[in-house]
Structure 1
């Protein structure tokens, strides 16, 4: 699992590549910890290379979303494939996140 965070045009762009499964969850959570402390930022999570997401991955994204929204920020999930979008639909998370 590859995770990259960069600042671009006043936004934070997070790129996720690979499988966000239970084994990768701790590594990804540690890599994304700076997002937990963001204050009112606009965060875009690029999911074009994300092939799979487990419940542990959903938990990480939900935790980040709660912290970001509490400070007036936003999260947008970009280029989510149909299989992963289906997971968001089945869990009801599709109502919580913005998708592009």
Structure 2
């Protein structure tokens, strides 16, 4: 199960994720994020503090979001990835595509 919540901070929207991001809920995450972008949010910070699993389907979602925001001169930052999540991003090569920080404050 995945829980998604968001709150504006400065000129960014911080999206806090909790639980598993897998094939069963990746589409919901994508739809949620695209709705936020369509609503004007072009600087997204994803807080992974409470995420314990991420699948390849979820990685694709972050790629879609990054491409959409790049076309709008926006940005995506990822923060608070645990060791397992960081390994997934490193091994897949996705760590090179995103700014990854230790904390939300650092991302801001």
Match of 2:106 in 1: none
Contact in 2 for aligned 1:40/1:71 (Cα 8 Å) = no
When structure 1 is superposed on structure 2, of 59-68 and 2-11 the one drifting more is 2-11
Where structure 2 has 5 or more consecutive residues not aligned to the other structure, the ranges are 102-108
* Counterpart check, 1:61 vs 2:54: no
2: distance between equivalents of 1:70 and 1:95?
18
Q: TM-score, normalised by structure 1?
A: 0.89
Aligned CA RMSD, in angstroms, stands at 1.6
Q: Deviations over 1:33-74 (max 9, x none)?
A: 224436682211101011110011001111001111111111
Where structure 1 has 5 or more consecutive residues not aligned to the other structure, the ranges are none
Match of 2:92 in 1: 91
Q: TM-score, normalised by structure 2?
A: 0.83
Aligned length: 100
